[in-house]
Structure formats: C-alpha cells, structure tokens
Amino acid sequence: MNVAGILRSIITSLITSENLHYKKRHYHELKRVILGRAHDVHFFYQADDPYSHLISQLLKDLNQSYDVNIHIHIVDKPKDNVVPMRKSLEDFSIKDAALTAPYHNLEFKDSYQIPEQTDLLIAQKMLSASKNKVNDIFHISKNLWEGNINDLSYRLASDKELLKIIQTGNRKRKKMGHYLGAMFYYAGEWYWGLDRLPYMLERLDKLKLRKKGASLEEKFISNADLRGGDFSNISVEFFVSLRSPYSYLALPEIIELKNKFNINTIIRPVLPMVMRGLPVPREKVMYIVKDAKREASRIGIPFGKIFDPLGKAIKRGYSLLPYAKKMQRDAEYLYEFSKLAWSEGKDMKETSNLKIAIENASLDWNEACDYLDSDEWKPFVEENRKRLIQSNLWGVPSFRIVDQKDNELFKSWGRDRLWLLTHEIRDLAKDLEH
C-alpha cells in the first residue's frame, strides 16, 4: 500500500473541494466587510508579456464596469524554473496573442517582437510614475510593443524608484502564491489573462458589483461548428501525457473530434515534463491543480481525488498503449486511465486498476496482458517527444494540424486553445477545398 500516495490523494481532495472553495470565498468576503475594505482587484503586469498587453486594453473598461479598485503591480518575467524553453514560449506567446486577439476584439500584431531592454525600462518607468495607471497602462503598453515608446512624454520614475516598485510587485505576487505575469488576483483566487477573466467577472457579478449600464463582456469562446466539413486532407496530432490534468480534460473533446467529425487524429503521448528533465515547482503544481478543478467543473468532468501517476504508473500505463493504438482506442484508453488517476484516486501502477482502465475503454484485458510491462511503447513515445520539440513546442496538451504531406499548417499549446484549434480546422478545410 502506498501510504504517501493515499495521503496526497486525500489532501488534493480537500484542496479541490467545492465546499471548501465556497467557504474560502465566504471567509474573504466576511473579512473584507469586517475590515471595511473595498473590493480590491490586483493585476500583475509584465511589460514584455503579450498576454499582459492584451489585458492592458481591458483594464479601463473593467474599472468603469465594476465597483472595484484595480491595483496594478509591475513584475519581472517568471524565473527559469517555472518557464522551461523560455525562447519557445516567448515566440509562441506572440503568435498566440495575435491569433486570439481578434476573437476578443483586441489588437495584437504577429509582427510584434519582445521589446528591447532599453525600451522596456522606459515603459516600466513611465507606468511606475503614473498617477492613474489604469488609464495610462494601455497607451504605454501599446507604444512599447509598437516600438514608439520614446515618442511619449510621460514622467519617468528613477532607477531606484523602479527597482523598488518591481521588487514590491514580485514580493507581493510570490506572497500571494503565484509566479506569472498577466495574472489577476481577487480575494484568495488567481485568474490568468483573458482565458480565466470570465471566472473573475462571474464572481464579481455574483457579488453584484457590476455597475448599471456596464457592457464589458468576456466569455469563453466556443468551438467552431464542424458539422458537414470535409477534413480528409488534414490530420490533427495531439501530444498528451498521463500526468497532465489538462490532457485529461482535453481528451473528451479529442475523442469527439475523432468520432463525431471523422477527423483523422493521431494521439502522441509523451513522458511527463519531470520525467523529461523539466522542472515543475510546487507553486506551479498547486495553481495547476486548482485551475484544473475550476475548468473541470465548468465542462462537467470529474476531477480532484488525485493519485499522482508519476513514475511506474506512467510506464505501466504506456506499456498497454500499443495494444490500445492497434485497436484504435488509444484516446479512449488514455482518458479512462486518466479518469481513474485524476478523479477517483486510483494507484495506476496496480494491475487491477489498469484492468479497469482497459475494460472501461471497451478493450479486452486478456489481449492487453500480452503487452503489459513490455518496452514496445518506448520508441513511439520518444519519437513523439522529438516531434514535439522539433515543432518548437514543449508542454501538453499540444496540437498540430498537418496536411497529407506532413507539412505543418497550424500548431498550438494548451487545452485553452482547443476552441482555436476547431476554428483553424474549419478554415483550413475550406481553404484546401479550393
């Protein structure tokens, strides 16, 4: 019996408890009322971060739409231990921001480049010296990204003042429990960028903080309608991991793409980041678990009683993959494995639990046993890792659309971009028809 694993499962169940979640919200609101404080929304602005720039375009409207006090904190980029393959992430962020901005009626050009350090310092000094950061932040940020920061005539903070302000912002972010830019914090909860802003707005709405006549609306973007499309000219590759909660949450939609819309899908499992030598610090793990629970509740997938499948469980789970793949049920198998690990707290290195996963995926356990604990999976998984890195991607879930000649037509990373993937599938299918 893995006592440590069982204890961690109990702890994660508490961390992700819906009851505890609402009790914490009640506590923070009660504390605010007793202390006579305003509704304080904190935004952590990283000037050279595309997602921070997107949010900068909304802050004035947010301030006008809700009865809240918005506090802007200037922060440094996250440390290397929470951002593996930083250059790849920066390149991806620019392309991702450019692709997603129009869907939010925002602006971001794919020609933008990460600002030079000298321009970055000027923009940070301007914002630091501003007496009305909410009103000024977009104008400063826009000119920074367009390379025109020197055209502005804002007052500049001194080097000493800027250093103090950034250090204060970094400390506050760390103390509150996070590490990224483009983060909102409100009363005990974190919300990342445009993707999680709807959660915060929903919370503010429940507190009846929306001002009369306010029109700010930030909703989750839905998938494109793929009914009736001809997708025979494209294939979609999905890079997933059995230790990734976001992979688990993405798999039902991946299965739907395959079964409902007859899209040729290629499931490409990779080893977890830790098993590939990439660090995953504790604060990152904690945020991911809480965020995944929030997303799981929204889309109606069970989550929270977790038994971490790291190590032997991953290897034994992947050993059955060649069989599931041969039966064209690899996505279904990976989902059932993940469901047991991420929502039922099952120790997936146990043979009995692997049997449940196989049978829940409508596969034959007796046939699967011929593959159990073999090494047949290793070359395929290693090939997937290399293919992931060659595409300048790193994390999971990641997605690639390729044509019949294996030319890359589109790529993205994160379950948050499944909606964008469906739009690209639809548009590419139309283009290839002509």
pLDDT attached to residue 432: 63
CA–CA dist 146, 37 (Å, integer): 38
CA angle 152, 156, 160 (to 5 degrees): 155
pLDDT attached to residue 59: 97
Three-state secondary structure call for residue 263:
coil
Write the CA distances from 407 to 62, 386, 397, 404, integer angstroms: 42, 16, 20, 7
Helix residue ranges, H only, 268-361: 282-299, 312-319, 321-326, 330-343, 351-360
Write the CA distances from 335 to 124, 248, 249, 260, 357, integer angstroms: 45, 6, 9, 17, 8
CA–CA dist 209, 56 (Å, integer): 21
How close are the terminal C-alpha atoms of the chain, in Å? 60
Q: Which of 372, 343, 135 is nearest to 252 (CA)?
A: 343
Write the CA distances from 309 to 7, 281, 346, integer angstroms: 14, 17, 9
What does the block give as tokens for 191? Answer: 């919300």
Distance of alpha carbon 425 from its chain centroid, rounded? Answer: 20
Peptide bond into 397 cis (omega under 30): yes
- Positive/negative CA dihedral, 30, 34, 35, 38: positive
Domains of the chain: 38-206 (3.40.30.10), 234-433 (3.40.30.10)
| Other beta carbons within 10 Å of 175 | 8
Cβ neighbours of residue 67 closer than 8 Å, sequence gap 6 or more: 39, 209, 210, 211
**What single DSSP character describes residue 151?**
G
Three-state secondary structure call for residue 284:
helix
pLDDT attached to residue 1: 52
pLDDT attached to residue 12: 81
- Angle between helix axes 117-129 and 159-176 (nearest 10 degrees) is 80
Three-state secondary structure call for residue 183:
strand
pLDDT in tens, the chain (434 residues): 566 667 777 878 888 899 999 999 999 999 999 999 999 999 999 999 999 999 999 999 999 999 999 999 999 999 888 887 788 899 999 999 999 999 999 999 999 999 999 999 999 999 999 999 999 999 999 999 999 999 999 999 999 999 999 999 999 999 999 999 999 999 999 999 999 999 999 999 999 999 988 888 788 999 999 988 889 999 999 999 999 999 999 999 999 999 989 899 999 999 987 766 666 677 888 899 999 999 999 999 999 999 999 999 999 999 999 999 999 999 999 999 999 999 999 999 999 999 999 999 999 999 999 999 999 999 999 999 999 999 999 889 999 999 999 999 999 999 999 999 999 999 988 776 65
pLDDT attached to residue 251: 98
- Which residues lie across from 267 on neighbouring strands? 238
Contact by Cβ (8 Å): 286, 359: no
pLDDT attached to residue 37: 96
Contact by Cβ (8 Å): 403, 394: no
Q: What is the pTM of this model?
A: 0.93
- Which residues lie across from 268 on neighbouring strands? 239
